[in-house]
Amino acid sequence: MAYTALGRRKRMSEINVVPYIDVMLVLLVIFMVTAPLFHQGVEVELPSAPAKPLDKTDENQEPLIISVDRVGQIFVNKSDTPSEPIADEQFRNQIREILSNDASPVYVRGDNGVDYGRVVTVMVMLQSAGAENVGLITEPAAEEIDTP
């Protein structure tokens, strides 16, 4: 502390940032621990395919992802309850509403063990609700497969 000639204290005009740094580090650790817990979705074992990843067109636009699990239940990532299955009629209505409000890309995540006909049925429901292009999500293949 600095004293003047008369012996009084001089006011300190600096900000002590050490407590702020401590709080910031604690928050950083909390966010690092909780971030993986925010991953929402349905466990689906995706089939693998030797396809190239799609280019991202718009970073701000979240795609509409429809998941079909092993038993054929449908899940929508943009619904109010993305981790709960939706009945077919409710799915049609909800997709019409979502697609009327935004034109985000539409993708289907079908489990490797689900009946192929169920995935096609979901894709037909999407197209009848107004989805122009529907993509399929797969896992990258472990090794390239040569096709004739």
The model's pLDDT over 22-66, given as tens digits with 9 standing for 90+, comes to 999 999 999 888 877 665 555 666 666 666 666 665 556 788 888
pLDDT value at 123 more than 80: yes
Q: CA nearest 63: which of 120, 102, 112, 118?
A: 102
For residue range 69-109, list pLDDT tens digits in order: 888 899 988 888 888 888 988 988 888 888 888 777 888 88
Does 9 fall in a domain? Answer: no
Q: Identity (one letter) of the amino acid at 92? A: R
Q: What is the CATH number of the domain that holds 112?
A: 3.30.420.270
Q: How many CB atoms lie within 10 A of CB 69?
A: 19
Does 29 fall in a domain? Answer: no
Does 148 fall in a domain? Answer: no
Full residue range of the structural domain in which residue 52 is found: 48-140
Does 63 fall in a domain? Answer: yes
61 dihedral zone (left: phi>0; alpha: psi -120 to 50; beta): beta
Does 114 fall in a domain? Answer: yes
Q: How many domains does the chain divide into?
A: 1
Does 13 fall in a domain? Answer: no
Q: CA nearest 89: which of 125, 127, 131, 134?
A: 125
Q: Give me the residues paired with residue 106 across strands.
A: 64, 134
